[in-house]
Amino acid sequence: MNEEIQKIEGDATAGSADAESETGAELEKLRRENLVLKQVIRMRAADERITRELVDAGARSPKLLFETFKDRIEFDENDEPLNVPHLVRDLKKMYPEQFDNNPPLRQIDAAAGVRAKQTLITHKSLSMMSPQEIAKLDWAEVRSILAAGE
């Protein structure tokens, strides 16, 4: 009987040891996943901040530039990137063509001359014109002004 009790206790101890090793392995797996997720979050925050700094510096392809030096980013104890100004300065030296130093050009108005003309003629201005000046005007516009009677 004592032998049976010892055997049962031994089996229970072995079973709990197996459970502890499985729990330990699972715990280690979760720790690794946690570290990976923290790294992903840290890099995403760094990406957002550095991309914003690159845009402010006039970068034409900020995401592409970020990918070129993301391995050189140093972080502080709060997971904030430390050496961003230094890295941006290095990028400007290494790839000056990737930064726009020229002011943006004035936009071209493609619809210039196509818009409806503004009516500058009023009833009062018509009354002050000579018949020769009135003859040079657009008659449809003159009719609409006279019909409005302003």
Q: What is the pLDDT of residue 29?
A: 93
The mean pLDDT value of the chain amounts to 80
Quote the pLDDT of residue 145.
79
The predicted structure's pLDDT at residue 137: 83
% the chain with pLDDT above 70: 74
Give Cα separations from 2 to 6, 12, 14, 59 (angstroms).
6, 15, 18, 80
- Domain ranges within the chain, ordered by starting residue: 21-98, 117-150
Tokens of 71: 């391995």
Kindly state the average pLDDT of the residues 85-100.
89
Quick one: average pLDDT of 85-93? 90
